[in-house]
Amino acid sequence: MPAKPLEKRGLMVQRMDTVEETDGVDDTVNSTSYPLARSVQHQQHTQHSRQVVTESGPAVRLPIEYGSINMALEFSRESAQLGRSRAVSDTSCRAGSTTEAELARTSAAISRYKYYSRIAPGASSRFIMPAHVVPPRFLMILPFKSVGQNQSSIITIFSIWNTMMGTSLLSMPWAVKESGFAMSLVALVVMTGLTCYTAYRVLDSYNRLLRRGIRVSEFSDVCRHYMGRGGEVAAVFFSGLALIGAVIVYWVLLSNFMYQTGQFIYNYASGQHGPDDSGPTQYVLGNRTYNVLCPLINLDESGRNRTLSEDFDRLQMSPAESVWAMNGTDADEPLFNRVWSKTGTVPFFLLLVAWPLISIKSPSFFSKFNALGTVAAGYLLLFVLAKAIGWGFNMDFTSQNPLMRIQQFSPKFFSYTGILSVALFCHCFLILLVKPAKNPKNNTRDLIIAYVCVSITYLFVGGIFYAAYPLSKFCIEQNLLDNIPSSDILAFTARIFLLIQMLTVFPLLMYILRAQMMYYFYKAVYPSWLHVLLFHIAVVGVAILVAMFYPNIGNILRFSGAICGLAHIFTLPTVVYLISERQAARLTPLKCIVHLALIAIGLANFVAQFFMF
């Protein structure tokens, strides 16, 4: 139905001409009123959203271009009860209804917010749509409660920490092994400093635009402002690559956890407690017995170790006799073991659970399970601590056995820096994370504290598990849980936590990836069921193939982290800073040399990944 003229609707519209904001200073709004038959009092608000008082009660004014079809449908029920009051300008009335392309672009933008919002803990810090300087035709009043800038520093720090905690946590002990113990500490300190500095540059670029009265919603908008359309496309493209890498890693881990969970249930139900597919589950080292796995110990088809005397003599350990009995041939193998295969069948079985979830048009339901991520990360920390207490510290720096001696430095340390590139990555989301802060002047301090906390967490998991693992450090797998037998009750609980948590995050990853790609190619978030079906088949098909033939999450993480880190950590923030300094006539040769060196470091980190095999 065409919109009625403003004079007939009896509303007042107030246009925002300029909006200025500095750190810790309230917004200043210069407005021009358009008087109409019936007035609506406008209440200037010091927060990002603008609150007005209508005949039906308080309402929040948001830019219409950040709404969506789904949002409009969600608001319709509440609006019917509260009495919706919308204000549109005469320009939009003459233009008629919003075009399909605008609605598609709007829906694509709001889909990112739905995904980002799940990393903000607590109801008091939910993300809100930013108040941009927009033409009056994009002005809309919705009966919606304003959240405002009331996020404390503790919540800001925790939000940044929660954003960076992810699947890379499971690969930290392997990364320490690849880098060498001493070198891993150096690499962690250096990468933390570099990533924190470039994240500060992202935050600084946002604040610079705010001081000029230019509002942005995410870092891709900053890139568009300074670098044009090409900068925005580069930011979105590499964030899409990061999402594809995350989807693949998630499928590999989901297959792994699903397999181990099924194996535990089968062994418990059948009363069988034999060795895992990676070898024996108990080893005697000295006078102690450890329930761990070591894939270095390879078994032949008869169930015996191919290099029994050589491997065990070199590793100075022997398998516990009580668990060394193996079924001799494939004919004796239970039917369950032939059907339930980690890399053969389980990646396909996972489709039965995951496919219905990713087919949901708007998976906002899954964002309600935000707390599961924190619970899973917290339990993993306790799990590593419990294992370290049970095993004790096993660090031998002087052993004559090269397999038992702790390696301090390794030329493969770039594997660690590649994983840290994704483990310390929050640059795409940083603006959204700090925007609701009550005291924006503390954002830089909160950012530094968050990075320190994240580094301590990675050091705790990677360093303690590496130091406590009782066998040769060369046995440590790319997923630390693969070094624990499926019969271990603590490991089973960790896998259950992670399985459920990742099943709630995976549909959100697919949704945001689908929304970005579909809008980029078809200018619509959901062009048709056939387009979405083919997209799902392509993405999930690649994930299944990787889970079957290359289920190495450490290598996947380091490659995806290196290429996305080259763009979002080392290049885009640096280029944006150099351009802004040149525009302000403050660019010096020293600044150019230092920041071009950052880009060179990111490029070297990416190229080195191809030589870390």
Q: Token digits for 376? A: 């899973």
Cα end-to-end span (Å), the chain: 63
- Separation of CA 221 from chain center: 20
437-449: string of b/e by CB count within 10 Å (b at 16+)? Answer: bbebebbbebbbb
pLDDT at 56: 44
Could you report the per-residue pLDDT of 556-590, keeping only the tens digit for each?
999 999 999 999 999 999 999 999 999 999 999 99
Higher pLDDT, 606 or 25: 606
Radius of gyration, CA atoms only, the chain? 27
Is the Cβ–Cβ distance between 254 and 573 less than 8 Å?
no
Element (H, E) at 236: helix 229-270
When mean pLDDT is compared across 201-210, 225-234, 515-524, the lowest value belongs to 515-524
Distance CA(428)–CA(408), nearest Å, equals 34
Helices of type H across 333-442: 335-339, 346-358, 370-391, 413-423, 430-434
7-27: string of b/e by CB count within 10 Å (b at 16+)? Answer: eebebbbbbbeebebeeeeeb
Please, how many CA atoms are within 13 Å of residue 300, restricted to the half-sphere of its CB? 6
When mean pLDDT is compared across 11-15, 219-223, 274-278, 479-483, the lowest value belongs to 11-15
Q: For 571, which DSSP code?
A: I
Higher pLDDT, 6 or 265: 265
Please, how many CA atoms are within 13 Å of residue 573, restricted to the half-sphere of its CB? 28
Q: Token digits for 118? A: 């799940």
Distances (CA, A) of 426 to 199, 333, 355, 381: 8, 47, 28, 21
Q: Is the pLDDT of residue 335 over 90?
A: no
Question: Per-residue pLDDT averaged across 64-70, rounded?
Answer: 34
Is the Cβ–Cβ distance between 279 and 295 less than 8 Å?
yes
Is the Cβ–Cβ distance between 187 and 179 less than 8 Å?
yes
Q: Is the pLDDT of residue 60 over 90?
A: no
Higher pLDDT, 195 or 31: 195
Higher pLDDT, 14 or 190: 190
Distance CA(68)–CA(77), nearest Å, equals 15
Element (H, E) at 57: strand 57-63
Q: Of 97, 94, 26, 29, nearest to 64 (Cα)?
A: 97
| Residue whose pair of structure tokens reads 């005469």 in the numeric block | 90
Is the Cβ–Cβ distance between 344 and 462 less than 8 Å?
no
Helix (H, G, I), strand (E, B) or coil at 437: strand
For the chain, give the mean pLDDT: 75
When mean pLDDT is compared across 155-169, 379-393, 529-543, 595-609, the lowest value belongs to 155-169
pLDDT at 577: 95
Q: Is the pLDDT of residue 349 over 50?
A: yes
Q: Where are the beta strands (DSSP E) in 246-385?
A: 283-285, 288-290, 318-319
CATH 1.20.1740.10 assigned to 153-293+345-609: yes
pLDDT at 288: 81
pLDDT at 560: 92
Is the Cβ–Cβ distance between 291 and 281 less than 8 Å?
yes
Taking the CB of residue 362, how many other CB atoms lie within 10 A of it? 18
Return the ∠ at Cα 217 (arms to 117 and 360), rounded to 5°. 40
- Sequence-distant (6+) residues with CB within 8 A of 222 are 202, 205, 206, 209, 216, 431, 576
Could you report the per-residue pLDDT of 482-510, keeping only the tens digit for each?
999 888 899 999 999 888 888 888 888 88
Could you report the per-residue pLDDT of 432-473, keeping only the tens digit for each?
888 888 888 899 999 999 999 999 999 999 999 999 999 889
Could you report the per-residue pLDDT of 80-137, keeping only the tens digit for each?
443 433 333 344 334 444 566 666 666 666 666 555 555 554 444 445 455 444 554 4
Is the Cβ–Cβ distance between 143 and 75 less than 8 Å?
yes
Is the Cβ–Cβ distance between 16 and 44 less than 8 Å?
no
Distance CA(319)–CA(262), nearest Å, equals 25
What residue type is 218 in one-letter code? E
The verdict on pTM exceeding 0.85 is: no
User: Where do the domains of the chain lie?
Assistant: 153-293+345-609
pLDDT at 63: 40
When mean pLDDT is compared across 218-232, 353-367, 529-543, 555-569, the lowest value belongs to 353-367
Question: Per-residue pLDDT averaged across 285-301, rounded?
Answer: 70
Question: Per-residue pLDDT averaged across 370-374, rounded?
Answer: 71
Alpha-carbon dihedral 354, 357, 363, 366, rounded to 10 degrees? -60
Q: Where are the beta strands (DSSP E) in 23-56?
A: 25-34, 50-54
Q: Is the pLDDT of residue 300 over 60?
A: no
Question: Per-residue pLDDT averaged across 190-218, rounded?
Answer: 92
Helix (H, G, I), strand (E, B) or coil at 63: strand
Quick one: angle between helices 529-549 and 229-270, nearest 10? 60
What is the DSSP annotation of 459-493?
HHHHHHHHHH--S-GGG--SSGGGGS-TT-HHHHH
Number of H helices, E strands in the chain: 21, 8
24: left (phi over 0), alpha (psi -120 to 50) or beta: left
pLDDT at 104: 66
